[in-house]
Amino acid sequence: MGHKEELGPKLYLERWIMLFYLSMANFLSDWICFSIAPVMNIAEEAFVGLHPSALVSVFLAFNVISSILEPPIVQRIGLRNAMVLGCVIMFLGCLIKSGIPGLWSASYGSLLLGTVFVGIAQPFFQCTPALLAANWFGSNERTLATTIALNANQFGIAASYMLGTNLVKTPVELQDYFYVISIVSAVLVVGVVIQFKEKPPTPPSFSAQGKMAQEYEASLWGWLDDMFGLFKANGFMHTVVSFTASIAISNMISTFLASMLSPQGHDQVFIGVIGAVFQVMIMMGSLVIGYGVDRYKAYWSATVFCFACSCLWLFTLSISLNRQLSALTLVSVVSIGFFVGPIQPIAAETACEITYPSDENTIVAVQQVFGNLFSAILVPFFHALRDPYTMQYAGSINMVFMTAVASMVVFASFRPDLKRSNLDKSGGAEDNFLLKKKDDISSSQSTRPLLLMDSAMMP
């Protein structure tokens, strides 16, 4: 009996600690990226010639470059060391950006250079949620874990709106605000170094166990073949399109929300609240819909549903901006957050399903490259489509609306083959993985994941 229990997947309580640190890293990276977006008037006063959208473009551009290089680095040094490396680079970026009292203070140049460092660091957190979910979480938890880690950056943007608008009233306070962010980054580095682990002692699912049986050490540049090979899988390009659309929509609204709401007479503090609510709704929608996806494996239908609702509210937002309907604008913004948020993590998990047993980190890295590259290109176009007389962004939202509609049509044109879930459902009894002997197959199908508390099996 004991022998058969050892063969089944086991879940460790420590998985939530690993998820916490990865989520915190994502949280902090976008808090830094969008730290001055809600207080752009003060930032422009402190740094002459600066526009927050320019910083976002710089951040996204270097994020794309780093996302391309991140997979082989993770393959070589592992998830734990990649997390430590990313946190250290991000801390250095914060330090450059804020300065050190008595040595140097924030300047336009240090702001740009610090943003470059943080943009390089973020892929070590944004590309690894699906990998961490596969390494640590059971088959009915993976979408939830990916959702929490991948969308934790939305809480970082929410923090930038809530804290920035309430703590920063003058350029001097902006400098102090940067110091606070640097301190938080330093604390995160210490925590990750002490507590973050590569993977649990035993795999959490049969699919994870199967991947362990076929893992190999890739060559440094073999990841290029892995990346291009992913596009041979039926439906992978469809997941890239949906992921790209989701991240682009959320980035455009996060970057230009203050500019969209200011012409309607809203003050800085109120805009900060709405910005925070938008980000919270992204996470809430992701958790609610992600829970259903984990339970029913409804990857395709959930994505199409979220796209349809997002398109509806984007169209409504365009109308409300054009006609200066303040209440409808606010309802549209928070509704978009609720429905567009889940698309990104579901797209990542769908890609992991249809390309199994491909590397989860490489999959999300490819999606991040396309998502952030498209966002970086979209930012100047979004700004250019602003009405020069009313200073409103109805035309810009129309462009995003058409992008969402096109992406929904593309994604809806295929049905995913859930290879990973099918393997887990079969109890891992696939000949090509040789996970169990034939006489153990029937018992393995009835095996349930066991929760390990402090690495000890509970009765």
Residues 397-444: tens digit of each pLDDT = 999 999 999 999 999 999 998 888 888 877 654 444 433 333 333 333
pLDDT winner (highest mean) among 191-195, 276-280, 418-422, 435-439? 191-195
pLDDT, one tens digit per residue, over 37-66 is 777 778 878 887 776 667 777 888 898 889
100-108: Cβ within 8 A, 24+ apart:
101/179, 105/175, 106/46, 106/174, 106/175, 106/178, 107/47, 108/47, 108/48, 108/49, 108/50
The answer to whether 6 and 445 have CB atoms below 8 angstroms apart is no
Q: Residue 320 and residue 155: Cα distance in Å, rounded?
A: 26
Q: Which residue has the higher pLDDT, 206 or 94?
A: 94
Q: Which residues pair with 11 in a beta bridge?
A: 451
pLDDT in tens, 331-373: 999 999 999 999 999 999 999 999 988 888 889 889 988 998 8
Whether the pLDDT of residue 2 is over 80: the answer is no
Q: What residue ranges define each of the domains in the chain, with the CATH number in brackets?
A: 12-198 (1.20.1250.20), 228-426 (1.20.1250.20)
Question: Is pLDDT larger for residue 448 or for residue 218?
Answer: 218
Q: pTM here?
A: 0.77
Binned at pLDDT 50, 70 and 90, residue 166 comes out as confident
Query: What span, in angstroms and rounded, lies between the C-alpha atoms of 400 and 405?
Result: 9
Q: Which of 414, 453, 356 is nearest to 142 (CA)?
A: 356
Instruction: Among 48-57, 201-210, 328-337, 371-380, name the one with the lowest average pLDDT.
Output: 48-57
Percent of the chain with pLDDT over 70: 87
Q: What is the mean pLDDT of residues 236-263?
A: 91
* Confidence check: pLDDT of 321 > 80: yes
User: Is pLDDT above 50 for 320?
Assistant: yes
Overall average pLDDT of the 138-167 stretch: 86
Residue 222, pLDDT score: 63
Tokens of 266: 């809203």
